[in-house]
Amino acid sequence: MFYQNPTFPSNQEYLNDEVIEKETNDKISLGSNKNKRANIYASFPNSNEIKEFSGIIDYYNDNEILINDTSNNKWYLIKKEYINYIEFLEKPNI
């Protein structure tokens, strides 16, 4: 005797909804906080250390954030996939 396996929504459908929601939330939070002072903590492949980038959020898109470190006049372009979290040094806009 054979039984049909139950059907479930495909993982791809679920993942697509989750990705869209995450990207929308990223755009809202970073978009309203451009030009705010922040510390960005990131970890990179083949490294166990977490690096801190301090400065002003200057540019952002779906893949990266550009931060201007005014203390040493350097600019850092950080891929979002490496960012652990962002600490705002002034009240963030929500």
Domains and CATH numbers, the chain: 11-88 (2.30.30.100)
Confidence of residue 29 (pLDDT cuts 50, 70, 90): low
CA 78, 82, 83: angle at the middle one, nearest 5?
80
According to DSSP, residue 48 is labeled -
- Average pLDDT of every residue of the chain: 79
Q: What percent of the residues of the chain are helix, what percent strand, and what percent coil, each to the nearest 5?
A: 25, 40, 35
Q: Please report the pLDDT score of residue 3 as a whole number.
A: 56
pLDDT per residue over 44-81, tens digit each?
A: 999 999 999 999 999 988 899 999 999 999 999 999 99
Evaluate if pTM is beyond 0.75.
Answer: no
Q: Is 32 in contact with 75 (CB distance < 8 Å)?
A: no
Q: Please report the pLDDT score of residue 14 as a whole number.
A: 44
